[in-house]
Amino acid sequence: MQTTARQYEEKRNFIRMNVDTGITFTKMGGQERHEARCRNLSGAGMLLETKKKLSAGERLRVNIPSDGPNFSPLNATVEVIRVDAIPDLHKFIVGVVIRQIEN
């Protein structure tokens, strides 16, 4: 008999990695910088936690800083596809899809 974990087949095109790192972002066309935590990351998107209320369809420029000399920072344009409020913590969980990775 197989365990449930072995019966599960990943249906995503990109594997999601759990991370816990601080990032900054700005809304497209804006200059004000906001902070967030990146909770997971894949080749197609990210899950962010932030105090800034965002709306589906908004585009952001995100920066994930380098953790050392062997890694470059990640700068990308993303689009918000989902926003879930966490009222008790005055935060939002934001799902974004990566539209463009910048150098």
Instruction: Please give the structure tokens belonging to residue 4.
Output: 């449930």
| Interatomic CA distance for residues 56 and 91, integer angstroms | 16
User: What DSSP designation does 9 have?
Assistant: -
Q: Where are the domains of the chain?
A: 13-102
| Interatomic CA distance for residues 45 and 15, integer angstroms | 10
**Res 13 pLDDT > 80:** no
Instruction: Please give the structure tokens belonging to residue 78.
Output: 């993303």
Model confidence, pTM:
0.81
Instruction: Please give the structure tokens belonging to residue 103.
Output: 């150098």
Q: Dump pLDDT digits (tens) for 50-81.
A: 999 999 999 999 999 987 788 889 999 999 99
The torsion defined by the Cα of 24, 68, 13 and 58, in degrees rounded to 10, comes to: 10
Least confident of 7-16, 41-50, 67-76, 80-89: 7-16
Please report the pLDDT score of residue 22 as a whole number: 95
**What is 13-102's CATH number?**
2.40.10.220
